[in-house]
Structure 1
Amino acid sequence: MAEEILKARATQKHLRRSPRKVRLVVDSVRGDRVDKALKKLEFTNKGAADEVAKVVKSAAANIRDKFQDARLDNQEIYISEIFVNEGATLKRIQPRAMGRANQIRKRTSHITVVVANNKELVNQ
């Protein structure tokens, strides 16, 4: 193992999108290089693509800032882990007929991205 393992992470919490919808976007970029993932997210026709791209850019900036002497660019950085967890659910009510009420659940997401400089660290 001649090469040093460099890792960094970024998180986005309380994103006002359903985790199920965000996971569709996240699954498409898992294991890719950062430059390829950002290009793919740019042309993805989903609302969550912009938010996922922000977190990937932040993780890439974190690894560059953390290991400045390594001089990494987006072609050398891989997304080793990316996942979406469920955040807090906002509960609202919708009035219905005859004095009843239905509950509306507005779900939130937590996006976590871990990037590394080594292709072997990528979990697919």
Structure 2
Amino acid sequence: MDAKATLKYVRITPRKARRIVDLIRGKKAGDALLALRFMPYRGAKHIEKMLKSVMANAEQKNANADSEAMIVSGTVDQGSIMKRVEQRSMGRANVIKKKSCHITLKITEE
């Protein structure tokens, strides 16, 4: 039995989110949750909340399943980019790209 959750349009760059997901991929859900709680990265809070949601989804599907013993897998895809203009000297302008990402977490039994 597997469970899945998706979080879309998270205002964090995909590169920073992938760094966190790569650290928990392949671990048991209980160990990954503990690791996320003590990570210094800003995106760890988003992913921790998602992991709790995935574990609740697994327990909802099968009441007998031990969601903490399931293996975590996940992907991070690039979302839309908000473009903003920053004024510079002598009439010039810079474009600021504010990136977002879509995070998908999945847990499966061994």
Q: TM-score, normalised by structure 2?
A: 0.95
Q: What RMSD, in angstroms, separates the aligned Cα atoms of the two structures? A: 1.0
Task: Give 1:78's aligned residue.
Answer: 71
Task: Give 1:35's aligned residue.
Answer: 30
Percent of aligned positions that are identical: 36
Q: What's the CA shift for 1:98?
A: 1.2
Task: Give 2:99's aligned residue.
Answer: 107
1:46 aligned to which of 6, 22, 41 = 41
More strand by share: 2
Task: Give 2:7's aligned residue.
Answer: 12
Please, which runs of 5 or more residues in structure 2 have no aligned partner?
none
**Cα contact 2:55–2:68 (8 A) shared by 1:** no
Deviations 1:28-74 (A, max 9, x none): 00011110000000111100011011111111111111123xx1233
Amino acid at match of 2:17: V
Q: What's the CA shift for 1:83?
A: 1.0
Task: Give 1:94's aligned residue.
Answer: 86
| Number of residue-to-residue matches in the alignment | 110
Q: How far apart in 2 are the matches of 1:73 and 1:103?
A: 48
1:56 aligned to which of 40, 51, 55 = 51
Amino acid at match of 2:81: T
Please, which runs of 5 or more residues in structure 1 have no aligned partner?
1-5, 119-124
Q: How far apart in 2 are the matches of 1:116 and 1:74?
A: 9
Q: TM-score, normalised by structure 1?
A: 0.84
- Counterpart of 2:68 in 1: which secondary structure? coil
Q: What's the CA shift for 1:97?
A: 1.1
